[in-house]
Structure 1
Amino acid sequence: MQNTNQHGPSAPPVMAPSNQPMSQTEQSSPYRVIRRHGETTAFDLNKIKVAMTKAFLSVEGGQAAASSRVRETVDRLSEEVFDGLFRRMDDGGTVHIEDIQDQVELAMMRAGEHKVARSYVLYREKQNEKRAKAKAKADKDQPTAARPVLHVINENGEQLPLDMARLETVITEATRGLKGVTKERILQDLRRNLFDGMSASDVNTSLVMAARGLIEKDPNYSFVTARLLLDGIRREALSFIFAETVEATQKDMQDSYPRYFKKYLNRGIELDLLDAELGRFDLDKLAAALKPERDKRFSYLGLQTLYDRYFIHVGKTRIELPQAFFMRVSMGLAINEVDREERAIEFYDLLSSFDFMSSTPTLFNSGTLRPQLSSCYLTTVPDDLDGIFSAIKDDALLSKYAGGLGNDWSRVRALGAHIKGTNGESQGVVPFLKVANDTAVAVNQGGKRKGAMCAYLESWHLDIEEFLELRKNTGDDRRRTHDMNTANWIPDLFMERVAMNENWTLFSPEDVPDLHDLYGQAFKNRYEHYEQEAEAGRIQNVKTIQAVALWRKMLGMLFETGHPWITFKDPCNIRSPQQHAGVVHSSNLCTEITLNTSDEEIAVCNLGSVNLPQHMTADGLDHAKLEKTITSAMRMLDNVIDYNFYSVPQARRSNLRHRPVGLGLMGFQDALFKLNTAYASEAAIDFADESMEAVSYYAIKASSDLAAERGRYASYEGSLWSKGILPIDSISLLKEQRGRFLDQDETTRLDWDGLRETVKNQGMRNSNTMAIAPTATISNISGVSQSVEPVYQNLFVKSNLSGEFTVINHHLVEDLKALNLWDDVMLNDLKYFDGSVQKIDRVPDDLKEKYATAFELDPRWLVEAASRRQKWIDQGQSLNLYMVDPSGKKMDDLYKLAWVRGLKTTYYLRSMGATHMEKSVETSSNTSQPATPGSQAPKACSILEPDCDACQ
């Protein structure tokens, strides 16, 4: 009989003290364990395996010991625990026994062993309660003077008493003003991580670890953890700059920040880390404008990310503090301004308040000797050997300084095409894509993040079927690109052929050279002409297939490999303000940029995102604040263009001529939480419409006002702007070309007639103004949800280059606290149900609807909201789609809906892993397509198919 004891396993806690002699593994281990009584002993992986086995025994009964599944699971999980503990301690290190148990619990949860993990959690809590009572009694009986004094070893090898009074002061500062946190709890957990003779540099790490483990208990501990981390960062930076050991509290920084800032800038210039021009600013004025209290706004994830990847450093020593970082970035962006101190302070206020955040390359490089601040580059690759390898070289140079790449490969001739120079046959586009893939891997953006690019191919290209298979794990590896993203560049005519169940013809581009530059009705006419030429035998290298068959393969590969993404050529071009100056041949790495490319011009885009929840009031959008933020943000983005470092001349030529920028937004889900609105609702779709309309209005107005001040961009005449056609107006152009295959809302709220008149009189400073990027990292820095994404889970562990972080939905916790429902049982239930509230009986239905996660939404809600945003945007948006249980039919409906609703592009299709799928079957009553409780699926089109799921 299985032991289903709900009070937890009877096994002792992992790594409990043992009276047995040390094993050989223990004796030789370079890793140490701090026991609860303060003694340190050698780490022994075998003890974890034994304790894990006992945990399984307590749940599954005696037969578990003989189970090969249990043995294999224990072996695998114990290795994961070891890696989680020591992967950053190559030469040995020390961990506390509680940290080991945390890793064991985490490993069990990740492996789907939820019953074992849950009972183990309850067991740990009971044991902790017993120890806490025993310790309280012992502390009461023991006089303070009799307690042992701990010592630390400083960098000079000296043994000094540990200054517990200062640590208590730092913890008091860190917890001040935050509800739901206590310094006593942190001190309690800190003391178990301290031991006599530890390194002084490890004290801050122990302090951070003590608070980090409490984040799941209350989200405010994330801010506490960040403030404690900052204590170590201050010591590191100040000690380097002042050339002596400096330990400053947050209160001390009111006086220390200005002195530090000036010394930091001068030292950075001396070390050739910063542009010498920064030293010619009025540093006293800028130093006085710093706001040290804003250091307290960071979450742990945000500050750790900045520390690991963004702060200026010498060797491994960070010399930049957060407010100096924001001011350094702002100084770079204001370097060419007339009143540059005033502008730098204006930009600093925007960044340091998190109201707006520039993109990662801007944050990396502004104010440095190589200010490559642009996010995205788009190129088109010619059909000759010299041009192909020149394009690959350009990719390497652009990637070196942190740019993401989108390459159009549609001109490169297909497999079997004739090569006049050698009288041979082409091997097609795939071998060159393999070289491009390896280039992206080799050039890793200075070690700060992986190089990344996306290859685009039009759907009529003869190599399209092999292109679809590039990310497969089977087949000839020489014709696979495992690291490079891929995307389909799909003309409307193909989608029409799919809808009408007609044939589709594949060509090699040298036989149909003008198709690359055509779109809309012109493309259709020319494509049909080439089909007639092929039928007459005048074009030999062709292939005719069913359009539906190719479409199914596109969707099949998307499901199997995640690539190629689905993007649409015609709306990107027909709605482009710059269609008079060229053609959009592809999007970028993240599918939100839609700019012209040619052999002479590499498109460049400079990005930044408005923090939407920072512009919300109890009544909705704060239009006055939003306009002020966007006006400054557009100036910052425009300044990037002139200040930017260009590694290739084609990029400089294009950027200075057209001056495109991409203002986006982030925190859309947080804004909905503030409005008490579920993502899967008509109200959320309306808010997506309303908020993007406001962003569009103020961005266009700001660019036009900049044109009045600085002049119009060079290629303005002939653009849609110059004709009085704004992004909302361009929907009618797409409707003219596409006809019945477009169903997109065109409702407006603001004074667009007045804005058209303003643009007519003043012109535009920027050819393009808006694009919604993924904001994966800058949203972490700002402490909000990513881009326009629904919340992934309400509680999960996020892994990135900075480590692992517990992420918990603070909006949910606040709502549960208001109902007196937030407790350890609720926390454990959230863990058990993978961050979902849907199966937790105590949670009210309205909260289940509000806090439905990405995989619990019908993905058509995401498409509908995206359609409302797309109508206002002159470029595109990175739109991830989530599907818990993908099928051909559901994917077919979803992507056809995206096309009909006027989307220009889509990004990743996220599906649920096998472990989570099993859990979904266990816990969800509607596993095939879970919808938000109490909500209806969004209205869908009846254009494409009379019997599609969307119409039932």
Structure 2
Amino acid sequence: MSLTLEAERHNASDTVVSQSASKQANASSGGHQVIRRNGSVTDFNPAKIKNALTKAFLAAEGETASGSHRVHDIVDAMTEQVTSVLLRRAVPGHTLQIEDIQDQVELALMRSEHHKVARAYVLYREDRARERAKLDSRKKKKKTDQPKLNVKQADGTIVPLDFDRLATVIDEACSNLDGVSPDPVFEETKRNLYDGVSTAELALAPIMAARTFVEREPNYAFVSARLLLDKLRFEALSFITGRPDQATQAEMKDRYATYFPVALKAGIKADLIDPELARFDLKKISAAIKPERDLNFQYLGLQTLYDRYFLHIKGTRFELPQAFFMRVAMGLAIREVDREAKAIEFYNQLSSFVFMASTPTLFNSGTLRPQLSSCFLTTVPDDLDGIFKSVKDNALLAKYSGGLGNDWTPVRGLGAHIKGTNGESQGVVPFLKVANDTAIAVNQGGKRKGAVCAYLETWHIDIEEFLDLRKNTGDDRRRTHDMNTANWVPDLFMERVFNDGAWTLFSPDDTPDLHDLYGKAFKTAYEAYEEKAACGDITNFKTVRAIDLWRRMLTMLFETGHPWITFKDPCNIRSPQGHRGVVHSSNLCTEITLNTSHDEIAVCNLGSINLAAHVTENGIDHDKLAKTVKTAMRMLDNVIDINFYTIPEARYSNLRHRPVGLGLMGFQDALQAMKIPYASDAAIAFADESMEAIAFHAIAASVDLAAERGRYESFDGSLWSQGILPIDSLELLAETRNEFDVDRSTRLDWDGLRERVKTIGMRNSNTMAIAPTATISNICGVSQSIEPAYRNLFVKSNMSGDFTVVNAALVRDLKARGIWDEVMISDLKYYDGSVGQIDRIPDDLKKLYATAFEMDSAWLIEATSRRQKWLDQAQSLNLYIANPSGKKLDDLYRLAWLRGLKTTYYLRSSAATHVEKSTLKGTDGRLNAVSSGQSAPISASPVPAPVITASPSALPVTATDTIAEGQAWGKACLIDDPECEACQ
């Protein structure tokens, strides 16, 4: 059995070794040193003997040896015995050979009759000897072939290029990965080197070389990441030590613990890190860092972290990946009683990718201004001071990475009377233009664009102009090209659409109470205002045919990707906090449903469970999931107290209600691990089962936190306090609708949990929301949120560049069937990553790996409906249509309403940029892509795609009207737009 076991399995033994290492090292070694095989000399350290013995027992006896007192005692005794023999034979100052030490370890194991362990140790030494022989042979061959090249260092000096080190780094990057080889990477690297190459170019060359092979073998994404790690290590270590400093991944096992405290102090000195972090027990914290987890990154994830997340001083990164995760974890544990233990617990979740905090938390945790919250929701009042205060609030909230949702419904409409000037209002649109330009100006320090979404209720008299905001034609002064927009649709409007009724538009200064009403109360008040309008008591109104307005809403969604369709009534009727106010909008990504008012700005703190890390081919690992959710909820709750609030209304609201939003990602990966096609009843059932489990554990964790820390301030009177859980609130919605067909089945002990909620209380007013996870899923290397696969082979664009993405699960299955070859790669390119038209692929794999545009989006809605029944907030649901028609869009969004969805997000087209048809070699990074077979370069800041405008009649609700793929879709709804918030 190999001794190079996963470090996760050695957690207990590594802890033992680290705790006793200092004791062993302090034993008199007489100043002895060890000559290693590469000729380097290091101090003799008995702790390394103990480490080797412990791993030998683990390899031979498995998990039973981990933490065993028997093994612990044996290893201690044998370490002392071997050390004694070695030191007794040597004179002070004598150098020991590494082979002599290993011979003594082997002899000690044999003499003590631990034959099984000794055999494992012998086999390990033989394996390592063979690997060294192969490496030496390869190096010799390469050495004889190498041209003599020189490298120009940063200070201008010229030094010979070290081909041996280059080969070692590439070999290390390829180790323990199936299907990869260092030889082609080395050869491709050499092709891009020249005499006088700079150190920066030398560091980049092997990375780019490895990336060219990703399309053939997905594991080269890990190779590329490991080569990027070497570049990052040189950058960070050189900064910390003040001299050129390189280290391999193997050397980092010992160096991470000493590097971390120094890096932390450097960040504090530069006013980037909170000095309080230096008051942790840094020895204990540093010992808990797991350097081997650096190897878990794929290139896209690590490059994203490098570009946008790691702390830097004047552009020089000094934060290595595990230091980054530990800094974030320490920041989240800063107010814990046993903060070292909790920081290590949080670190282990983040660094192992079982849970990932949201981007603002990763950006700012442990810094001087820890703005950790993801979403802010505001209501804009109907007066000039209030409007411009709201715009200022947007700027302050966006400055530290917050995403914004603004409720603009209270602002009076076009033609409304202004009492102070005796004039007429220009409506809401000019103020939206100001908010749009503010979002551009405040770009979160260049990390990502300021992002805001404006919401307007469907009865507002400016709704028709609101629909046109994202058009590329018309008066540009009444357009907001950079602002997201969303319709806030009441149930009464949908009923009028279904019944082909009339719909009346009002200015909110004439109908002020409609803004705060929903359900039956809204219907009563709205119909009363319609009667007033009919009688002439209200003059500023307009009556339209409901289905015509609905068609125009879908037309604009079709043309520009906006406004999104979100539903007011289910958001409010099912809200646990209806006793404390009204949900007037959602947020930037349509998953948050919290109350807002003039006094309260709603805040939500997000993080996502990696569902793929909690399933096997046999289903969900419920014990692991429960543990992950419990720790994740504690992290999210901590954010509320630690958070840096830029607006007092946000602080007041967040501390009073304490909402959090635990979501998920990797849903598609989980399905594929269990061999379940997305477009299937089994996938819908799994969506139900997995969300029920997350919901159960999230609510239970909030109850546990309430028992420990106290219930949230506004708990009394909430649905929680009445024993009405999210699954129960479905009945409240059903009571207000004539048609409501949603599955109500359950699996877990909800009666017991319901009683605990009533008697103990909740720590958090809201617990769950499913965010897009566009960036954090890249970091973890899993599929985005609840999304189906976009393509099985495609080019992904974000702010870090363009990246080849290959579905590794598909490649594994095709290899198992013996059909992964150059022809298959060519076919996947030709069909833009789709497997449906490739004859060689068996039908079961075609179903399993069907892409988003090969399945009916109704499947997505059905799965989302099953999740929605468990959620106290909402979901960022993208919908996909390859060949759209008015009839399809109409059916799809009607179904979303009928199934009780609270919100929808982007309507996705099949993008006009696809994977390069010929080859990806040498292009990955800033790739060329093709559209309909014609090559078109993609730049870092792409020019908006041309949009073909259409009148409302261009989208009739017929079954035959279709528009060619990619023809009339605005930039905002294209997949992987580098400037799109959902794609970041």
Give the TM-score taking structure 1 as reference length. 0.81
Cα distance in 2, alignment partners of residues 828 and 141 from structure 1: 36
How do residues 404-419 of structure 1 correspond to structure 2 at under 5 angstroms? 404-419=403-418
Q: Name 2:601's counterpart in structure 1.
A: 602
Q: Name 1:295's counterpart in structure 2.
A: 294
Residue from 811, 814, 818 that aligns with 1:813: 811
> How far apart are 1:607 and its partner, in Å?
0.2
Output one character per residue of 1:144-166: Cα deviation in whole Å (capped at 9) or x when no partner. 65753211111222211111111
- Local SS of the residue matching 1:585: coil
Residue from 821, 825, 828 that aligns with 1:827: 825
- Local SS of the residue matching 1:378: strand
Q: Name 1:776's counterpart in structure 2.
A: 774
> How far apart are 1:741 and its partner, in Å?
2.3
1:556 to 2:558 alignment: no
Q: Name 1:795's counterpart in structure 2.
A: 793
Cα distance in 1, alignment partners of residues 962 and 475 from structure 2: 35
1:752 to 2:750 alignment: yes
Q: Name 2:184's counterpart in structure 1.
A: 185
Contact 1:856 1:929 in 2 (8 A): no
Q: Name 1:395's counterpart in structure 2.
A: 394
* Uncovered stretches (5+) of structure 1, i.e. residues with no partner: 1-138, 921-925, 931-952
> How far apart are 1:760 and its partner, in Å?
1.4
The letter for the 1-side match of 2:838 is: I
* Uncovered stretches (5+) of structure 2, i.e. residues with no partner: 1-137, 915-929, 934-959, 965-984
Cα distance in 2, alignment partners of residues 765 and 821 from structure 1: 53
Q: Name 2:657's counterpart in structure 1.
A: 658
Tell me: CA distance 1:284–1:209, structure 2 relative to 1, closer, same or farther (3 Å): same
> How far apart are 1:143 and its partner, in Å?
10
Mean CA deviation greater in 163-172 or 460-469: 163-172
Output one character per residue of 1:369-390: Cα deviation in whole Å (capped at 9) or x when no partner. 1100000000000000000000
> How far apart are 1:912 and its partner, in Å?
2.5
> How far apart are 1:699 and its partner, in Å?
0.2
- Local SS of the residue matching 1:228: helix
- Local SS of the residue matching 2:774: coil
Output one character per residue of 1:720-762: Cα deviation in whole Å (capped at 9) or x when no partner. 0000000000000000112x22111111010000100111121
Output one character per residue of 1:55-88: Cα deviation in whole Å (capped at 9) or x when no partner. xxxxxxxxxxxxxxxxxxxxxxxxxxxxxxxxxx
Q: Name 1:681's counterpart in structure 2.
A: 680
Contact 2:576 2:765 in 1 (8 A): yes
Tell me: CA distance 1:162–1:888, structure 2 relative to 1, closer, same or farther (3 Å): same
Cα distance in 1, alignment partners of residues 324 and 736 from structure 2: 49
- Local SS of the residue matching 1:251: helix
Contact 2:885 2:961 in 1 (8 A): no
Cα distance in 1, alignment partners of residues 447 and 563 from structure 2: 26
Q: Name 1:887's counterpart in structure 2.
A: 885
> How far apart are 1:202 and its partner, in Å?
1.5
Output one character per residue of 1:552-592: Cα deviation in whole Å (capped at 9) or x when no partner. 11001100111000000000000000000000000000000
Q: Name 1:867's counterpart in structure 2.
A: 865
Q: Name 1:742's counterpart in structure 2.
A: 740
Cα distance in 2, alignment partners of residues 155 and 701 from structure 1: 56
- State the number of aligned residues: 786
- Local SS of the residue matching 2:454: strand
The letter for the 2-side match of 1:750 is: L
Q: Name 2:111's counterpart in structure 1.
A: none
1:904 to 2:902 alignment: yes
How do residues 249-268 of structure 1 correspond to structure 2 at under 5 angstroms? 249-268=248-267
Tell me: CA distance 1:686–1:422, structure 2 relative to 1, closer, same or farther (3 Å): same
Contact 2:143 2:164 in 1 (8 A): no
> How far apart are 1:918 and its partner, in Å?
9.2
Q: Name 1:163's counterpart in structure 2.
A: 162
Output one character per residue of 1:4-53: Cα deviation in whole Å (capped at 9) or x when no partner. xxxxxxxxxxxxxxxxxxxxxxxxxxxxxxxxxxxxxxxxxxxxxxxxxx
Tell me: CA distance 1:897–1:140, structure 2 relative to 1, closer, same or farther (3 Å): closer
Residue from 874, 877, 882 that aligns with 2:875: 877
Give the TM-score taking structure 2 as reference length. 0.79
> How far apart are 1:913 and its partner, in Å?
4.3
Q: Name 1:458's counterpart in structure 2.
A: 457
- Local SS of the residue matching 1:488: strand
How do residues 287-436 of structure 1 correspond to structure 2 at under 5 angstroms? 287-436=286-435
Contact 1:493 1:524 in 2 (8 A): yes
Cα distance in 2, alignment partners of residues 151 and 499 from structure 1: 75
Cα distance in 2, alignment partners of residues 620 and 445 from structure 1: 41
Residue from 757, 760, 763 that aligns with 1:762: 760
Contact 1:312 1:320 in 2 (8 A): yes
Identity within the alignment, %: 70
- Local SS of the residue matching 1:718: coil
- Local SS of the residue matching 1:482: coil
Contact 2:604 2:659 in 1 (8 A): yes
Contact 2:139 2:167 in 1 (8 A): no
Contact 1:883 1:929 in 2 (8 A): no
The letter for the 1-side match of 2:352 is: S
Q: Name 2:238's counterpart in structure 1.
A: 239
Cα distance in 2, alignment partners of residues 491 and 392 from structure 1: 26
Contact 2:298 2:781 in 1 (8 A): yes
How do residues 467-486 of structure 1 correspond to structure 2 at under 5 angstroms? 467-486=466-485
- Local SS of the residue matching 1:609: strand
> How far apart are 1:186 and its partner, in Å?
0.9
Tell me: CA distance 1:811–1:169, structure 2 relative to 1, closer, same or farther (3 Å): same
Contact 1:884 1:928 in 2 (8 A): no
- Local SS of the residue matching 1:544: strand
> How far apart are 1:352 and its partner, in Å?
0.1
Q: Name 1:65's counterpart in structure 2.
A: none
The letter for the 2-side match of 1:262 is: P
Tell me: CA distance 1:256–1:390, structure 2 relative to 1, closer, same or farther (3 Å): same
Mean CA deviation greater in 139-148 or 323-332: 139-148
Contact 2:886 2:962 in 1 (8 A): no
Moved over 2 A (4+): 139-148, 912-920, 926-930
Contact 2:396 2:647 in 1 (8 A): yes
Cα distance in 2, alignment partners of residues 602 and 302 from structure 1: 33
How do residues 92-111 of structure 1 correspond to structure 2 at under 5 angstroms? none
Output one character per residue of 1:595-645: Cα deviation in whole Å (capped at 9) or x when no partner. 000000000000000000100123100000000000000000000000000
The letter for the 2-side match of 1:830 is: L
The letter for the 2-side match of 1:347 is: F
Cα distance in 2, alignment partners of residues 828 and 235 from structure 1: 38
Tell me: CA distance 1:221–1:928, structure 2 relative to 1, closer, same or farther (3 Å): farther
Cα distance in 2, alignment partners of residues 653 and 219 from structure 1: 48
Output one character per residue of 1:288-322: Cα deviation in whole Å (capped at 9) or x when no partner. 00000000000000000000000000011000000
- Local SS of the residue matching 2:559: helix
> How far apart are 1:886 and its partner, in Å?
1.3
Contact 2:211 2:220 in 1 (8 A): yes
The letter for the 2-side match of 1:834 is: D
Q: Name 2:524's counterpart in structure 1.
A: 525
1:488 to 2:487 alignment: yes
The letter for the 1-side match of 2:869 is: K
Cα distance in 2, alignment partners of residues 582 and 148 from structure 1: 74
Tell me: CA distance 1:165–1:927, structure 2 relative to 1, closer, same or farther (3 Å): farther
1:838 to 2:836 alignment: yes
Q: Name 1:854's counterpart in structure 2.
A: 852
Cα distance in 1, alignment partners of residues 372 and 775 from structure 2: 15
